[in-house]
Amino acid sequence: MNLQELKNINIAGKKVFIRCDFNVPVDEYNNITDDRRIRSALNTIRYCIDNDCSVILASHFGRPKGGFEEKYSLSPIAKRLHILLKQDIKLAPNVVCEKTIQMAKELKAGEIMLLENMRFEAGETKNDEELSKKLASMAEVYVNDAFGVSHRAHSSVEGVAKYFDKNHKAAGFLLAKEIKFFHHIVENPKRPFVSIVGGSKVSGKLEALYNLVPKVDKIVIGGGMAFTFLKAQGHEIGKSLVEEDLIPEAIKIMDLAKKQNTKLYLPVDIVVAEAFDAEAIAKIVPVQEIPKTWIGLDIGPATALLFSEVLNDANTILWNGPMGVYEMEKFAKGSTKISNAVANSYATTVVGGGDTADLVRITGDETDMTFISTGGGASLELIEGKILPGVKALLLEDEE
């Protein structure tokens, strides 16, 4: 993939607009609980500052319903950037109001300005041309470093890039690293290549599964989505999560794995509970013995052992999606054991998806992973073999 990268264009002394992904989790008091996405953008920001650029940062945060909402203000992000970069961050009053555009004009070399939440503008998610044009007017160079939203054709991601030629727009260091990792790992992995796919639903990962099965040597399926496969095999799954309409697709995927000689692993035992509740009575049962009125909320210990054995000889592991309801301590054991097994392997390990990244942070395995992606939906679309709109805009020649 021939991507225009920041290091290959001349930015010295220019005004640079950087689209970042500062959509970080916060607690009830608006304190940032995990600043990994902010820290991931620092290399690109510092590189621009070191090249005497004036820098305009843009990001979305949460899901505001329309217009300014205090709880979705980027004010906590500005404070954290100030601490991490040890310099003043000018927070704009809005996104493209007159005062903001004037502030951008007056920005001097070495100064950083942060626009307010991109989604305060209704045109952002509609990829509004007028908004894209106004954003582009603020700077001489456009840099996309927001992998987490590069699968969205939004104004600050795809629309704005149209107003810059190939020598004045580029992928930031984080975006380039994400693309390189996923492209390389799916197209040219060191084998055996094992993929672990979890999470709640098959529907969100259907295309990824179809794309992965012919490319991997082994595929491990856990989490809520495993019940659709278990039901397809004829098992009673009680009140566990199931997508009835996707049972034929699950059968097709299992048939494809057989045809491709890809080993497909499903849970052999399940932690079931009387209700979806952290305090509910729970027990471990083989998949053949799930009670009709109980719900499966985690993989059992035998499954965790089996999946860990599957990973033993792996040279490349791609993991997207937890093995159970890890947010509830009682149902986090399976996910924790898999996290430990991935961290302790000698393979190149790539973790994709917000929940999985959150999980490895909680388990303390974060530093033992080769690469943790900052994007969930974007990483899935890359695995599906798609070219993301935000990336397509930065290719040196059109790739279809």
Torsion over CA of 364, 365, 371 and 374, rounded to 10 degrees? -40
Name the catalytic one among 201, 252, 361, 392. Answer: 201
Rg (CA), the chain: 23
Name the catalytic one among 37, 119, 152, 239. Answer: 37
201 is catalytic: yes
Alpha helices in 281-367 (DSSP H): 301-311, 333-344, 354-362
Tell me whether strands 371-372 and 316-320 are parallel, antiparallel or unpaired. unpaired
How many C-beta atoms lie closer than 10 Å to residue 235's C-beta?
A: 19
What tokens were used for 220?
Answer: 């491990």
Sheet holding 112-114, edge to edge: 89-91, 112-114, 54-58, 15-19, 141-144, 169-171
354 is catalytic: yes
Nearest to 158 by CA among 191, 135, 190, 185: 135
13 is catalytic: no
Integer Cα distance of 4 and 391 in angstroms: 9
Name the catalytic one among 123, 224, 354, 390. Answer: 354
Name the catalytic one among 62, 110, 204, 377. Answer: 377
How many helices and strands, by DSSP H and E, does the chain display? 14, 15
CA distances from 388 to 157, 224, 377 (A): 10, 27, 10
Is 265 in contact with 306 (CB distance < 8 Å)? yes
Is 200 in contact with 223 (CB distance < 8 Å)? yes
CA end-to-end distance (rounded Å), the chain: 10
333 is catalytic: no
Give me the active site residues, please: 37, 201, 354, 377
